[in-house]
Structure 1
Amino acid sequence: MANYRPFDVVIVGAGPAGLALGTLLRPEQRVLVLERRALPASSPPIGESLPGAAAVLLQRLQLLAAFRESGHRERGAAVSVWDEDRPVWRDAIQDPAGPGWYLDRRKFEQMLRRRALDVGVTLEEGCKQMDIRHCQAQWQLDTTLGSFSAPVLVDATGRSGHLGRRLGLRRYADDPLLCLYCFLDQAAESQDATMRIQADSHGWWYTVNLPYGQRVLAYHMDVDDPLCRRLLRRPDAFLARAREHALLAEVLAGLAPARVRGRPAGSSLLEVEQLPKAGPGFLAIGDALLAFDPLASQGLFHSLASAASAAKAIESGLHQSLGAYQQEMQAVSQRYLWHLKASYQGPRRFSHSTFWQRRQQTANWGRMG
């Protein structure tokens, strides 16, 4: 019989949501974070925007001062060609919580990791296999790194929601949206902080200058669009297509093509009301609970905010607080879907194209809400 090392909470996934939750639960709770990867990803992660409202969450993590000193770039204005074929400007100063930041995402995640370790979170990396069962009010995990037990188990495995799926929970994930993206080298002294967003018949683009001498260029389109495969394989064609739009060409002039990567980017939602079906003491947070379309620019903020809400529920006792957590996350999902639907209704000039038809049909949103 396995000798289970006891914890109060086991979190599966060492991304921003999992590390933030572990930090918030210490020192009152014994926390274990299990991570599948043994080493950080070699390529910079996409997802580099954090709104000003995140300052409150960073303060709760006692990271706000360190964050402000880390060289992240304050967000500037956003300009978009969306509802109509002309640019519309929005100044970040209009946000009552402050303009927010464009991040050095790798540095940000390293900061979260250091903080979790500093407060006493146990982090085990390289966990390739895991057997899970619930027995006598405890989750028991037999892994390649050892055997562990805890009354609370948290899925922080990201967009895949791998843990919840294993435990029988369903997800709504019927959006074929794929994000094609690359990081273009540019002069480090460039101070342009404008986010540029451009809709076209096959999807929508954005580009913004990042704090470490690169510019991210991303194109969101359907994975079954024949154009998608060609652009993924040909960095020169990807950059050339972006330059067909004057709004993007202004900041892409003189930049060399770079490797194009792709990742799923459509909305993916766990059925929040079914959390108890996984077993007593189970929660999901971050993308494992609700993965945002990048158009919302809220994915990283949601990771931190859902971690804070989960910490409150765990500290109050899940048997009493799970219902309140479910209601809060259901409200978040409904608000998000309403705003996303409204945003995709905008570019009516492309209503003949498959990409926009899929997102302007109300039936699709009804299934997810």
Structure 2
Amino acid sequence: MNSGGSSGCERSRRFDVLVAGAGPAGCAAALPLVRAGASVVLVSPRTSPDWRVGESLAPTARPLLERLGVLNGLTGDGHAPCYGNQAAWGQDALTAADHGLGPYGEGWHLDRTRFDAALVEATLAGGALWHAGHVRDARRHRSRWQIATGEGDVLEAGHLVDATGRAARLARRVGAGRTRSDRLIAVAALLGPPKQAACPDRTSLVQATRWGWWYTASLPGGERVLMAMTDADLLAGVRLLDRDVWWAQAQRAGHIRERIAGREQPSRRLRVFAAGSACATPAAGRGWVAVGDAATATDPLAARGIVTALATGLVGARAILAAEGGDTDAMAAYARRMTAVHAEYLETRAAQYRREQRWDTPFWDRRH
């Protein structure tokens, strides 16, 4: 596996593997591939949002990060510990799940921008190349792919990795379907530090409401993420896109109100993004795999987004290497595995939602 690309993207347009997207899933796929001797290019815009939701990293990520060789760097990179999760779910009182009782110890509240940048840095240091832009089209020509970018460049690769997130742009471009289970929407904001210094809590919090649920967690710099979750068709009725109404609703949720006490209402526009469950059908085919949210996108309630991104990236890379080694079933086996993983997740998700039986409202009726 070596078709060039080691001297820089400006001088080579031929690669063994093209990875569309440079988040955790894309980097987790690229790192083992370059270590196996493949020429790999990451195609992703250089600009990124000023902050990203997805700041809690479960302890189960530890062995994955260790396998990628980035665990030691994470522990000293300014992230804060997360000791567990609390929830007012199915009852008014809080219940807690303590990470310290598990086999991997505490998790993290991430500086997500720094975390993603560290993964990219490790991937490029390992030998991958970067192409600033986005994939516009991909067509199979004999045994290789010809990829057109939105910036007018044409690249060539033997294998493709779709790490474009929930949009699954590359998988859909090469013929995969997208099966959605719901239309969950998140309405989120970043709250500034409290007016008076206080010892930060180091647990995440979920609180159910009549129209959905709230989530909040502290961040390493003293800020706090706050998200309201409901279905897309219910947004207008609850008026969650109105910043004043969104803030008033947060104040009505007692445990959430306690966590955000002393912080001011966000001044910036609320961020709205899809958070529903979906999967690629299939998640792999001849010469391509989907990883992360492009393969299996999960409800934030499951708190497994980054862990799934890392795990599917690693497994997707293994499938590519197996296929390159002559395993004609490698891609189909990966697709079957992703189908099974998503089906298991949907069963767990249904059980989680059934635990909340206090309201007979559209949001909950759909999940019971």
State the TM-score, normalized to the length of structure 1: 0.89
State the partner residue of 1:254: 262
Structure 1 portions without partners, runs of 5+ = 361-369
2:239 match: secondary structure? helix
Q: Write the mapping of 1:257-268 to structure 2, written as runs, cut at 5 A.
A: 257-258=265-266, 259=268, 260-268=270-278
Residues 1:133 and 2:139 are matched in the alignment: yes
Residues 1:6 and 2:10 are matched in the alignment: no
State which of 359, 363, 366 in structure 2 corresponds to 1:358: 366
CA distance in 2, matches of 1:303, 1:33: 16
State the partner residue of 2:5: none
CA distance in 2, matches of 1:7, 1:66: 29
1:7 match: secondary structure? strand
- Measured against aligned partners, the alpha-carbon deviations of 1:148-173 in whole angstroms (never above 9, x if no partner) come to 21221111111011111122211112
Q: What amino acid sits opposite 1:92 in the alignment?
A: H
Q: What amino acid sits opposite 1:296 in the alignment?
A: A
Q: Does the aligned pair in 2 maintain the 1:11–1:156 contact within 8 Å?
A: yes
1:151 match: secondary structure? strand
CA distance in 1, matches of 2:170, 2:31: 21
State which of 161, 182, 191 in structure 2 corresponds to 1:184: 191
Measure how far apart 1:226 and its partner are: 4.5
Structure 2 portions without partners, runs of 5+ = 1-10
Number of aligned pairs? 349
- Measured against aligned partners, the alpha-carbon deviations of 1:317-346 in whole angstroms (never above 9, x if no partner) come to 253422332232222112211100000111
Residues 1:32 and 2:41 are matched in the alignment: yes
Q: Does the aligned pair in 2 maintain the 1:4–1:149 contact within 8 Å?
A: no
State which of 307, 310, 334 in structure 2 corresponds to 1:325: 334
Residues 1:210 and 2:216 are matched in the alignment: no
- What root-mean-square deviation, in Å, do the aligned CA atoms of Structure 1 and Structure 2 show? 1.9
Q: What amino acid sits opposite 2:274 in the alignment?
A: P
Q: What amino acid sits opposite 1:15 in the alignment?
A: G
Measure how far apart 1:221 and its partner are: 0.6
| Residue 229 to residue 115, structure 1, CA distance change in 2 (3 Å) | farther
- Measured against aligned partners, the alpha-carbon deviations of 1:157-206 in whole angstroms (never above 9, x if no partner) come to 11011111122211112512100111111246532112221101100111
Q: Does the aligned pair in 1 maintain the 2:84–2:107 contact within 8 Å?
A: no
State which of 251, 259, 264 in structure 2 corresponds to 1:243: 251
% identical equivalent positions: 36
CA distance in 2, matches of 1:320, 1:173: 26
Residues 1:175 and 2:182 are matched in the alignment: yes
State the partner residue of 2:317: 311
Q: What amino acid sits opposite 1:165 in the alignment?
A: R
Q: Does the aligned pair in 2 maintain the 1:81–1:199 contact within 8 Å?
A: yes
- Measured against aligned partners, the alpha-carbon deviations of 1:27-84 in whole angstroms (never above 9, x if no partner) come to 410001111x24122x301011111121111112211111000121111232211112
1:349 match: secondary structure? coil
Q: Does the aligned pair in 1 maintain the 2:186–2:227 contact within 8 Å?
A: yes
CA distance in 2, matches of 1:135, 1:10: 15
Between 1:196-205 and 1:308-317, the stretch displaced more is 308-317
